[in-house]
Amino acid sequence: MFFRVISAACILCLCAHLLGNNAFSQVREFGDVTVKDFSDYDAKYDSTMPAIILMDYGVASFDNDLNTYLTLHRRMLILQDEGLDYSEIEIPYLIQREQNVDNISAASYTISDDGVIDKSDLEKQHIFVEEFDDDIHIAKFLIPNVKKGSIIEFKYRKRMGGPFLFPDWEFHDYLPVNWSEYRMIIPVGLDYQLILKGSDSLFINESVKILASEVYNNDSGSIAYQLAKRNLPPVEDLPFLINRDDYVTKVITQLREIQLPGYTRQRFFKDWNMIAKELNRREDFGKQKLNGEMKEIVDGLIEGKVSDYEKTKAIYEYLWQVIEWNGFHRILTKKGIRDTFKEKTGNTADINLTLIEMLRHAGIKTSPGLISTRSNGTVITNYSLINQFNMVVAIIEIEEGAFILDATSGLRTITTPHPKLLYRNVFVIREDDSNGWLFVEPMDKNTEQYSLNYSLNSEDEIEIDYSGKLSGEFAAQTRASVDVFNQNAYWENYIDEYESLKVDSTTFDNLLGFQSDVRFDAKLTIPADEIIDKSSDYIYFNPFLFLGMDENPFQRESRDFPVEIAYPYKQQYIVFVEIPDGYEVDEMPESSLVRLPEKQGHYRFMATQNSNIINFMAEVNLTTAYYQPEIYPEVKSMFQEIVNTQAFTVVLKKTVEE
């Protein structure tokens, strides 16, 4: 991907014509639909997409009070019956920000048998507003008379709020887009950082100064920007694509300065140094302090502990257990760390700023770090856009190194950051306003080893010895899932393939604390007829039981985006099966080895027999978190081999009696 700045301080003055007259623009007025529009698209989407966006056109502008508005005009062609849902339009807006939606128009167009376009307009009385909650209202309407093959379009204006709420724009969609165009009319005197984030270049990228007489913003006039892209493929949610937004071309904005007649000059977040200083001086960020009770608790937790690591461990484990995360990611505390500690719940900033101050009181060098989780998108470090972040974490600097801590991520080692934080840039802000960047990578090896041992001699119940060793993220996930007071319930919930599963006993080691590995041993009993199919001469069974992969997650022939996994890992299954007396193996998968290019991973499968014991070993080793589209066929092929060997039905045949 590339990131490109379109700075309001660097103007390309194209005074020969206004942007609205650009000869390349494919924007047309509402209602200007022709017969050609029904077929002017790439027909390859006919069988794969429910609809296609023919035109997406947005204009962002200001009124005299510096309120921002977005006017949106979208035209779509419905290709399949499932695309009819796109005729149901919902436009949310926030009451607290005094947002509203007006100037709504909508219509559908259908070609009749005689080649005439029939138009059906939305009537105003069919527009209604739903009060979703006290702050969120939703303008709703249903475009009339829509069927497969119809073109629909709608247009509205949305009041966004003040200049800080200037709208961003996404060119890509979940659907194919023939044409996407965004125009911004920004008063001279408002300095915005405008960043184009995406994977390829714009078809149109122009700007022009508009005289004051041609706009209503201010006496100095405005700068008009026109950005457009065409023939965009859909960017869908795909298996093993962590965040589609990382692959969507978009314009991101942040106000940096206001210098207008009648207004006091104000500067906002001009660079990362200014952001660090500003946040350190904010009451809801850098000015948070412990009260006496909290200090006493910290003193008690670290009493007798010498190393910073042991102190960190004690404070983290304590805080993780006593304060519950409410599920919200934030970079600023909502109620302050004292009330958070009192109420025992809060957002990520409430909890992690509490953690930071506790660690600082213990004498541990700790700093807040701003981060964008993997579901929130990639941070562009070259440009100081604070609204890229959605979370604050704690960064400790101890003898063992610098580590990231998040007390909302569950009980895990300091070397096992939560997957949502991996491969992210963290903006670290120290107490003296110095700052820098830390890249989050996995330090622990993420491995899981499972062993099954059972006999098919019994015709009533099969007794299974099940054991495992888990490290890194696998250990953290297990700790979060197992109820230490009812460990048997874990298997009853985890193994849902067998209705009559009985858990006879379970033992877990290292469920609590910072220990890296979790180990377990379990004894399970399953009715034989739930595991094996038996005829007069044959027995059929899958040796991996509940462990194996039975479906390839990669079904498409090709892929335009990388295959992303949460973290590199190694997984190993070992199965020992004792076959019944009087039977021999008739069909069994052959041993195999599949390697990915450039040592990016492998799958190894082995099947051997020693007397009446069959041994199966399956090992998956993925060494990177990103697999580029060029090797997608190899990745797909490897996972298909996993399915072929792990979902294989072994056949035992009754031996011929002498």
Position 500 scores a pLDDT of: 86
The mean pLDDT of 164-192, rounded to a whole number, is 93
Q: Give the span between the Cα atoms of 407 and 250, in whole angstroms.
A: 32
- 515 and 414 part of one domain: no
Q: Give the span between the Cα atoms of 565 and 574, in whole angstroms.
A: 24
Residues 344 and 381 in one domain: yes
Which of 266, 295, 312 is at the close of a domain? 266
Residue 529 three-state SS: helix
What is the overall mean pLDDT for the chain? 89
**Same domain (yes/no): 246, 316:** no
**First and final CA of the chain: distance in angstroms?**
71
Same domain for 431 and 477, yes or no, is no
Structural domain span for residue 52: 2-77+148-266
The pLDDT assigned to 157 comes to 97
Kindly state whether residue 94 falls inside one of the protein's structural domains: no
Beta strand pairing status for 2-5 and 266-267? unpaired
CB 157 within 8 A of CB 115: no
Element (H, E) at 594: strand 592-595
How many CA atoms, within 13 angstroms, populate the side-chain half-sphere of residue 607?
16
Residues 323 and 419 in one domain: yes
pLDDT for 217 equals 47
Six-digit token pair at 157? 């204006």
Percentage of the chain beyond pLDDT 70 is 93
Provide the pLDDT confidence category of residue 644 given band limits of 50, 70 and 90: very high
Backbone angles phi, psi at 197, to 5 degrees: -110, 130
Residue 17 predicted with pLDDT over 50: no
Residue 137 domain-assigned? no
The total domain count for the chain is: 3
Average pLDDT over residues 448-452: 96
Q: Is the pLDDT of residue 13 over 60?
A: no
Q: What is the pLDDT of residue 199?
A: 62
Indicate the pLDDT class of residue 428, thresholds 50, 70 and 90.
very high
| CA quadruple 346, 351, 352, 354: dihedral, nearest 10 | 140
Q: How many CB atoms lie within 10 A of CB 615?
A: 14
| CATH code for position 434 | 3.10.620.30
Q: What angle do CA 571, 573, 578 make, to 5 degrees?
A: 175
Q: Does 397 map to a domain?
A: yes
Helix (H) or strand (E) holding 603: strand 601-610
Residue 504 lies in a domain: yes
* 3-state SS record for 77-126: EECCHHHHHHHEEEEEEECCCCCEEEEEEEEEEEECCCCCEEEEECCHHH
Domain boundary among 226, 249, 266: 266
Looking up tokens 């009812």 gives 486
Q: Are residues 390 and 462 in the same domain?
A: no
pLDDT of residue 475 exceeding 80, the answer is yes
Confidence check: pLDDT of 19 > 80: no
Q: Are residues 246 and 331 in the same domain?
A: no
CB atoms within 10 A of CB 89: 19
Residue 514 has pLDDT above 70, yes or no: no
Whether 67 is covered by a domain: the verdict is yes
- Is 132 among the domain residues? no
**Residue 79 neighbours by CB distance under 10 Å:** 21
* 527 and 598 housed in the same domain: yes
Mean per-residue pLDDT, 5-28 = 47
Is the CB of residue 248 less than 8 Å from the CB of residue 241? Answer: no
Of the candidates 55, 65, 304, the residue with the CA atom closest to the CA atom of residue 181: 55
Give the pairing type, strands 324-325 and 345-346: parallel
Supply 503's token pair.
């858990």
**pLDDT at position 600, please?**
96
Give per-residue pLDDT as tens, 298-347.
Answer: 999 999 999 999 999 999 989 988 999 999 999 999 899 999 999 999 99
- If asked whether residues 455 and 576 sit together in one domain, one would say yes
d(CA 458, CA 528): 7
Cβ–Cβ < 8 Å for 450, 468: yes
User: Looking at residue 485, what is its pLDDT?
Assistant: 73
Q: Mark whether 433 and 461 lie in a shared domain.
A: no
CATH number of the domain at 197, please.
Answer: 2.60.40
DSSP secondary structure of 212-246: GGG-SS-TT-EEEEEEEEEEEPP----TT-S-GGG
Residue 484 and residue 374 share a domain: no
pLDDT reported for residue 144 = 97
Question: Looking at the structure, do residues 452 and 383 belong to the same domain, yes or no?
Answer: no
User: What tokens appear for 587 in the block?
Assistant: 């069909």
Q: Is residue 32 assigned to a domain? A: yes
Give the end of a domain, one of 247, 266, 285. Answer: 266
Distances (CA, A) of 241 to 17, 465, 529: 43, 36, 39
Residue-wise pLDDT for 224-233, tens only, equals 999 999 999 8
* Residue at 33: amino acid letter: V
Residue 317 lies in a domain: yes
Predicted confidence (pLDDT) per residue in 368-380, tens digit:
999 999 888 888 8
Mean pLDDT score, 401-412: 89
User: Looking at residue 635, which CATH number applies to its domain?
Assistant: 2.60.120.1130
Task: For 554-601, write each residue's pLDDT tens digit.
Answer: 998 888 889 999 899 999 999 999 999 899 999 999 999 999 999 999
Q: What is the pLDDT of residue 630?
A: 94
